[in-house]
Amino acid sequence: MAPRTSKDERQEQVRARIVEAARELFETKGAEGLSIRAIAARAGLPAMTLYSYFPNKMAIVRALWSLAFDPLFAKMRAIEAAEPEPKARLRKVAQAYVDYWLSHPDRYRIVYTIEDRRESGQDQWFIEETDVIAAHMRFGQLIAAARGDPQGDDRLRAEALICALTGVAHMLIGVSEYPWRPSDRYVETILAGFC
């Protein structure tokens, strides 16, 4: 006899099924394909059932974003912990950031082509309710250490680097017909301006 699953486990399984259905729809139909009815049909659930797991479509999208960011940030933390030399650490983490999006263009599109919005005045923005900003701002400390100021925290440079690295990923994913050079060439060129 199979072991019984708890109510919480069953709810998590249904939530995961809903998020997976949304991911599949996004990959095949884009953002326009993400309606509650379409997600419910893909997940094999009545549309009204989704509301007992997610209050609205944006909550499902935010779950997709979390699934996209979690492995990226774990990889960045692992590289940061493993590399003792500050400039090499910055380079490796920056390259991992770009490589992640290039390896997962579907995740890139989910994160960067669907605009966040609040469904009510009480809702927070995705970046306010997650560690996305803190994880990205680690670049400030990495830059400061690579510049010889390990106690510093250079937020402006971190923001500029995030914009530049995301731009590299965006162009290589979104304008793939252009004969771009390998991503590491762009990362090296960008980092030369930071340290």
Please write the tens of the pLDDT for every residue from 9-20.
888 899 999 999
Q: What are phi and psi of 31, to 5 degrees?
A: -60, -30
- One-letter amino acid at 64 equals L
Q: What is the dihedral of CA 31, 32, 36, 39, to 10 degrees?
A: -70
Query: Which range has highest mean pLDDT (43-47, 65-69, 90-94, 125-129)?
Result: 90-94
Q: What is the dihedral of CA 169, 187, 69, 159, to 10 degrees?
A: -100
- When pLDDT is cut at 50, 70 and 90, the band that residue 130 belongs to is confident
DSSP 33: G
Q: Two tokens at 52?
A: 């007992």
Looking at the whole model, is its pTM more than 0.95? no
- When pLDDT is cut at 50, 70 and 90, the band that residue 186 belongs to is very high
- When pLDDT is cut at 50, 70 and 90, the band that residue 27 belongs to is confident
- CB-based contacts of 125, cutoff 8 Å, min separation 6: 116, 118
Choose among 162, 100, 112, 111: nearest CA to 137: 162
Q: Which residue has the higher pLDDT, 97 or 111?
A: 97
Distance CA(182)–CA(185), nearest Å, equals 6
| Range of lowest pLDDT (60-64, 72-76, 87-91, 182-186) | 60-64
